[in-house]
């Protein structure tokens, strides 16, 4: 009997030890699992704690993402360095076919000149132009001629890889026309807008018949329109400097620009020639084949009649040039309109009535 009771007691002790051993390990595992968490009395408190944890982790994500982006950021490609355009543009075609029988609207011309920027501006996209050129056109009431000139000249200048802007200098009012003074105005206004180093002065009725006749400046003043159809493609006289010419900024300032006092038709071109000669410069020209031009035929404009006083002024050209020129220029700008084809500047040049 005593033996039996002893066995029962030992069994109960073993069973108790086993129970407490299992309970000990279970509590230890639970403590290890939840020791990093706070003790929360309710389910709501536990849910808010989870939200706080998530918000903290989300706040850290942008920083981690930014750091990751910094690590994988690819450097931007280096800017392409453009080379200078070649002396001889590669896309020139030589002799051109020019006709004035087709009636063109300015809207039709605009649609074809999709390479231009506002103001009649263009620069070659794949090279740096040899020069920055302002094309200056003295103008009044020649809108039919303007359409033809823009239609032909813009593509020519593009092929010549010119960095250029077209300035139409429009004389306001019905006073006597003054071509040379308008060209001075063009120079002054163009220099307000861009750092030009070359100026091409052109009549609105002259179109080149060869795109190898480059609209740029040379070591000496350049006469471009040397062979007009009007003169049977020859020079009318040796000192002729009319129609289209180019001067660098330094050459232009060296002769004090052009005379402001030649009202009406005639004489100003010869005065400019005398200015160039008196400053010890020579005039360069293309050959007669390259320098061909076609003129748009027209009657002489009203208020641009020949002035009988102009030949007398010509005798004093070299004496008057220091006082009569860009340094004595007076005018008032009435309006500036920037079309995609041109910059149109209307000016009051204090013209006398005819």
Instruction: Note whether 177 and 303 are within 8 A (CB).
Output: yes
> CA–CA distance from 207 to each of 75, 311, 336 (Å)?
50, 28, 25
Burial label for 72, CB within 10 Å (0-12, 13-18, 19+), is exposed
* Calpha distance 321→317 (Å, rounded): 6
226 CB-side CA count, 13 A: 18
Four-residue CA torsion sign, 190, 192, 196, 198: positive
Enzyme catalytic residues: 203, 205, 265, 268-269, 295, 298, 300
Q: Any idea which residue has 């071509």 for tokens?
A: 179
* Residue 321 in tokens: 């040039």
- Phi, psi for 318 (deg, rounded to 5): -70, -25
For 143-201, how does the pLDDT look when each residue is reduced to its tens digit (9 = 90+)?
999 999 999 999 999 999 999 999 999 999 999 999 999 999 999 999 999 999 999 99
Contact at 8 Å (CB) between 172 and 181? no
* Burial class of residue 215 in the structure, from the number of CB atoms within 10 Å of its CB (0-12 exposed, 13-18 middle, 19+ buried): buried
Superfamily of domain 106-296+304-348: Spore Coat Polysaccharide Biosynthesis Protein SpsA; Chain A (3.90.550.10)
pLDDT tens digit sequence for 63-87: 444 444 554 566 666 677 899 999 9
> Would you state the pLDDT for residue 315?
86
Is the Cβ–Cβ distance between 189 and 345 less than 8 Å?
yes
Show me where the domains of the chain are located: 106-296+304-348
CA–CA dist 291, 241 (Å, integer): 13
Rounded distance between C-alpha atoms, residue 327 and residue 286, angstroms: 31
Burial of 86 (0-12, 13-18, 19+ CB in 10 A): exposed
pLDDT of 68 reads 46
- Rounded to an integer, what distance in angstroms lies between the CA atom of residue 244 and that of residue 204? 9
Residue 133 has phi, psi (to 5 degrees) of: -115, 130
Low-confidence ranges of the chain (pLDDT < 50): 22, 25-68, 71
């Amino acid at each position: 009997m005593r033996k039996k009771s002893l066995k029962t007691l030992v069994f109960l002790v073993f069973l108790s030890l086993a129970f407490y051993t299992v309970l000990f390990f279970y509590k230890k595992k639970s403590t290890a699992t939840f020791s990093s968490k706070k003790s929360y009395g309710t389910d709501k408190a536990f849910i808010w704690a989870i939200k706080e944890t998530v918000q903290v982790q989300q706040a850290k994500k942008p920083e981690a993402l930014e750091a990751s982006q910094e690590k994988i950021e690819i450097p931007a490609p280096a800017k392409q360095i453009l080379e200078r355009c070649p002396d001889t543009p590669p896309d020139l075609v030589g002799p051109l076919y020019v006709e004035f029988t087709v009636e063109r609207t300015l809207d039709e011309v605009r649609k074809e000149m999709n390479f231009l920027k506002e103001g009649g501006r263009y620069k070659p996209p794949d090279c740096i132009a040899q020069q920055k050129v302002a094309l200056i056109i003295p103008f009044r009431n020649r809108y039919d001629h303007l359409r033809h000139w823009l239609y032909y000249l813009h593509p020519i200048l593009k092929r010549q890889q010119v960095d250029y802007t077209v300035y139409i200098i429009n004389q306001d009012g019905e006073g006597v026309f003054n071509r040379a003074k308008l060209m001075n105005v063009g120079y002054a206004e163009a220099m307000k807008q861009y750092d030009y180093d070359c100026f091409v002065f052109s009549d609105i009725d002259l179109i080149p018949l060869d795109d190898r006749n480059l609209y740029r400046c040379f070591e000496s003043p350049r006469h471009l329109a040397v062979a007009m159809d009007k003169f049977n493609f020859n020079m009318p006289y040796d000192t002729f400097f009319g129609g289209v010419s180019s001067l660098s900024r330094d050459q232009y300032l060296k002769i004090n620009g052009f005379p402001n006092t030649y009202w009406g038709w005639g004489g100003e071109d010869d005065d400019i020639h005398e200015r160039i000669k008196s400053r010890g410069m020579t005039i360069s020209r293309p050959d007669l084949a390259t320098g061909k031009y076609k003129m748009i035929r027209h009657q002489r404009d009203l208020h641009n009649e020949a002035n009988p006083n102009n030949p007398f002024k010509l005798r004093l050209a070299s004496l008057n040039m220091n006082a009569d020129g860009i340094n004595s220029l007076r005018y008032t700008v009435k309006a500036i309109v920037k079309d995609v084809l041109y910059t149109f500047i209307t000016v009051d040049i204090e013209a006398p009535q005819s």
